[in-house]
Structure 1
Amino acid sequence: MRFMARERETAEQFVPGLDAKLREVPLEVLESKDSPGLSIFREFGGPGLLVGKASGGLGASLLEAAHIHRVLGSRSPSLAIAVNMHSCTVAAIPPGPGTEAMLGMVAAGGLYLASAFAEGIPGAGVIAPTLRGERIPGGWKLNGSKKPCSLSRSMDILTASVLLRPDGADEAELALAVIPATSPGIEVRPLGTGLVFPGSETEEVVLTDVEITDDSVSFFGKTDSLNAALTAGWLTFELLVSACYLGMASGLVERVSEQGRGTAADRMLLVGELETAMAAIEAVATEIMEGSGEPSTVARALHVRFAVQRAVERTSALATELLGGVAFMVGSSALLYTACRALAFHPPSRTGIAGPLDRFVAGEPLIVT
């Protein structure tokens, strides 16, 4: 089948054999609490996907990562969502000797990064960190929680943003804390009994008097200086999470095509809408790769994300209808269709971002509070 052929070719280039391996595992198994998805992705070197080749990683570009995240979404929504957290954490970590060394460890050891990191965009304040810290001899003591937090059981390292007051400073500054997942005081608590993405290990991670050393903390100055540094993480999240959900809808459409459901016109409509959405993701990814971090690029990425969201809603609904009631009741289409609806709940919300984007189109600065 030629549907998603380019994306699968990209996956084969960077993680050869992964797609075939995932296809062997029933979706019901991949979408379970005991899913082998994350173990399989680690086995194929996936954690190093976005780590640069100089650090021992696979060196995938944002465009190539979008292709692979779409493939993951088509095979296992849970795996796609969990990997998306890891990928965006890798992209959001500011460069520096310490973080480069950590990324080298990620690539060499197939380590997973979970995130309790704040996000920001140009013209906006940084979202308040969920953790707090206090000075202790030789380091810091952290308290707080992150929920929801994917990769809660498979994470090797928790990266967290926290406001800390450096020695001699007049006020607190935003810092990046790198915390081994085995640190005393880290506890994983069940988040609830939700049935969506059970294999993503999305729970609450609680830190109680977790002690870290000074060399585990990097200060980045006043929060208003971080917007440019965090733009890459923000844009990466919006594009890759869109690709993940586009993949989920693609999994449904792939079943429609394989089973010959509906008419040729139905199938053309479904494939055409998904391919148009993917082309938009690719266009913005290329713009970002060329070095653009301007507010107009951020706005374009957000518009694409919400256009993809609507495309996923439409195509998943029609594809599920064409697959039929029996497939929905006892087959796998209900798993994919339910997962597709969750894109609406990822930040920023459509209603929350509408005003800032509307004002930006009218000529005002892009300011998101």
Structure 2
Amino acid sequence: MILLATERDLLERALPGFDERLAALGTDGADDPDSGVVEEFRAAGGGNLLIPAGLGGAGLGCLEGVRLQRAVGSRAPALAVGSTMHHYKVAWLARELDGPVAASVLRRVAAERQLVASCGAEGRVGGSLFTPGIEVSALPDGLRISGTKRPCSLVRSMGLLSLLAAGPEDSAYAGQLVNVLVPADAPGVSRQPFWRNRVLRAAQTDAVVLDGVHVADSMIVPVGLPSHSAQRITSNMLWFQLLITAAYLGVATGQVERLFRLDRGTAGDRIAALAPLESVAAALESAARELDAGRCDDDLLGRVLLTRYTAQRAIAEATDRVLELLGGMAFVTGGEGAEALLASRALAFHPPAESAMREPLDHWLRGDGLVLA
């Protein structure tokens, strides 16, 4: 076995030469916001990989998406995290909101190699999912959107901004959740600095301000009544949780790989660092296969959340071991990958937080439904 061989072989087939390019940059180079790595990814067609072939994309499924994000994460942490925000949204639009509006938008995304910056809201399955602070009003031919979305990744490279909202009562979307796709160059769209941490800077995570932005009906995808949209929202969450966990798992695996490359520690040290990560990867792939096969329910989401929270602990343990075995001089001199070690911990900050989900998961494991907190 060669560590990450399956994942990197897939990346090479999907985007020929891109893995080699990332390897040449190194993790520090790829995570430099001036590296242009996001734009290279976009130009290479990276955003088309999870769009169905019938809409102009590569037609890859969730299992392949999990492997791709792990491969990218091992080389370029910020790109893996940022691209997840595009991948999960286009995959969800194509598979759960597969009507004429979504199809038309995705064909354009694929043809123009656009990236979609996602500002999806989190909330209760089947409940209120629109984010407070966004004002939505009716227009004769669409909606007017105002507010600030932050944090939001890919803001400098995005072609579209995607967000969930509640349809105004005086609109054609009254009572429904809608997915609004805002062109990045629409009048009233601006960007503001927000991200101050050095870690994951290349993900282009800042604030997007919407000042009375007109969004035409042709860019609005109805999700449905909240009471009837639970499965669609569950699908959204499954795609996100699987891909974002795989991205951070890749970041940690790339760091453990350095132990093997530099022959640091004992054989036992290296195996102890890697084994929990491989176990998490197997669990992610199993769940991804089920999603690809059409399963989408609370039990699968519950298992995926348990896997994600297990991944957080496995990543922390593995990267602690890497930091210790690489030694103090590597830390003092800011050796390659120091920021990636810290970046790997950021999985804990993506919703829903483990602390908020302990009670809901406990109720679910006792036989109740799963409610997102």
**Aligned match for 1:250, one of 249, 253, 259:** 253
Question: How far off is 1:132 after superposition?
Answer: 1.9
Question: How far off is 1:335 after superposition?
Answer: 0.9
For 1:1-369, list aligned pairs within 5 A: 2-93=2-93, 94-119=97-122, 122=125, 124-130=126-132, 131-165=134-168, 167=170, 171-329=174-332, 330-369=334-373
CA distance in 1, matches of 2:196, 2:222: 37
The change in CA–CA distance for 1:135 and 1:199 in structure 2 (over 3 A counts) is same
1:30-88 deviations in whole A, cap 9, x for unaligned?
21222321122123211101000111111111011111100111111110111000011
Structure 1 stretch displaced more, 129-138 or 231-240: 129-138
Question: How far off is 1:340 after superposition?
Answer: 1.0
CA contact (8 A) 1:252 1:320 kept: no
The change in CA–CA distance for 1:215 and 1:105 in structure 2 (over 3 A counts) is closer
Q: What RMSD in Å do the two structures reach over aligned CA positions?
A: 1.8
CA contact (8 A) 2:195 2:205 kept: no
CA distance in 1, matches of 2:173, 2:86: 34
CA distance in 1, matches of 2:171, 2:191: 35
CA contact (8 A) 1:249 1:340 kept: yes
Task: Indicate the SS of the match to 1:51.
Answer: coil
Task: Indicate the SS of the match to 2:325.
Answer: helix
Question: How far off is 1:220 after superposition?
Answer: 3.3
CA distance in 2, matches of 1:121, 1:288: 20
CA distance in 2, matches of 1:343, 1:143: 29
Unaligned runs of 5+ in 1: none
CA distance in 2, matches of 1:59, 1:16: 16
Unaligned runs of 5+ in 2: none
Question: How far off is 1:137 after superposition?
Answer: 3.7
Q: TM-score, normalised by structure 1?
A: 0.95
Q: Which amino acid aligns with 2:74?
A: S
Q: Which amino acid aligns with 1:245?
A: Y
CA distance in 2, matches of 1:247, 1:168: 44
User: How much identity, in percent, do the aligned residues show?
Assistant: 35
CA contact (8 A) 1:126 1:226 kept: no
Task: Indicate the SS of the match to 1:128.
Answer: coil
The change in CA–CA distance for 1:146 and 1:170 in structure 2 (over 3 A counts) is closer
CA contact (8 A) 1:126 1:223 kept: yes
Aligned residues: 368
Structure 1 stretch displaced more, 232-241 or 159-168: 159-168
